[in-house]
Structures are given as C-alpha cells and as structure tokens.
Amino acid sequence: MPSTTSRKRVSRREQRVSRTYRLPLSKLSAAKRALGAATATETIERALDLVVFQRELIDGTRAMQGVEITSPDAKQ
C-alpha cells in the first residue's frame, strides 16, 4: 500500500463531517493492518478510496469491451 506521503492529499476546502459508526473492532483492526493506516479515520478513508477506485476500474473496463487492443510491437 502506498505511504501517506505518496497518496493524494484531501483538499482543505473539502467539507468534512463528523459521524459515529458502530463497527466491529476486529474488522476495523484487520482493515487498519491491511491498509497500513495509523488511525481508524485513515482506515475508513483508504477503504472508501479503494471502493471508488474499484468502481472506476469496472466502469473503465466496461467502456473498453469490444475494443481491440494490439501490441505496439506487433508486426504489421
């Protein structure tokens, strides 16, 4: 997982909200370790970033269906 210094920083102008969630501690701890996050908030933010990125990958893959891709090294 990329370090926090290589990740995009959230704009200071982006609205932040305070919420309270009841999450299983074991699940949060496992996610925190897996993502290399320092805090619960960072863990949740990274997990949400991954969900959004997954959706972008799926949408991009669907948009590419039927597109023929050839190697630039292929002899013509």
pLDDT tens readout for residues 12-70: 678 989 999 999 999 999 999 999 999 999 999 999 999 999 999 999 999 999 888 88
Parent domain of 32: 25-63
- Helix orientation angle between 25-35 and 40-64, rounded to the nearest 10 degrees: 70
pLDDT for the residue 7 = 53
pLDDT in tens, 66-75: 888 888 887 7
Model-level pTM?
Answer: 0.68
pLDDT for the residue 14 = 85
Angle at 31 between CA 29 and CA 33, to 5 degrees: 70
Residue 41: inside a domain: yes
Residue 7: inside a domain: no
How far is residue 46 CA from its own chain's centroid? 6
Task: Classify each residue of 62-76 as buried b or exposed e, where b means 16 or more C-beta atoms within 10 Å of its C-beta.
Answer: eeeeeeeeeeeeeee
Residue 40: inside a domain: yes
pLDDT for the residue 1 = 47
Domain count, the chain: 1
Q: Is it the case that residue 9 has pLDDT exceeding 80?
A: no
Phi then psi dihedrals of residue 43, to 5 deg: -60, -50
